[in-house]
Amino acid sequence: MTKADLVDEIAQRTGLTKKDVADTVDEFLEAVSRALIGGKHIEIRGFGTFKVKDRKPRTARNPRTGEAVHVPPRKVPVFKVSKELKDRVAAMAPSIGTETS
């Protein structure tokens, strides 16, 4: 599902214009981005948590040459799914990909 698909679905379900929904989705994503850049985490109950994690420095290998490469420490955004959403998805799992004849 793309952002455009998401906007279409929300607009259909709410009766709002696609422009209003697109602006809201864009602002939501921008707010999440600003919070993560600011080092904050966002918890949306029943959905999940967005936060920034520190990755430690490490030594990796170039797959072509086998040469050791130093990977510096860095910060990465992560998303952790809530238990409630995990359970809802798991409950649907048996029917995903099942064809009915």
**pLDDT tens-digit series, residues 78-89:** 999 999 999 999
**Residue 100 pLDDT exceeds 60:** no
| Predicted confidence (pLDDT) at residue 31 exceeds the cutoff of 60 | yes
Burial 52-75 (b: 16+ CB within 10 A, else e): eeeeeeeeeeeeeeeeeeeeeeee
Q: pTM value?
A: 0.75
Only one residue has tokens 């130093």, namely 70
Under the banding of pLDDT at 50, 70 and 90, the label for residue 97 is low
Per DSSP, the three-state class of 35 is helix
| φ, ψ for residue 98, nearest 5 deg | -85, 125
pLDDT at 92: 86
Average pLDDT for 50-73: 95
Residue 82 half-sphere exposure toward CB, CA atoms < 13 A: 11
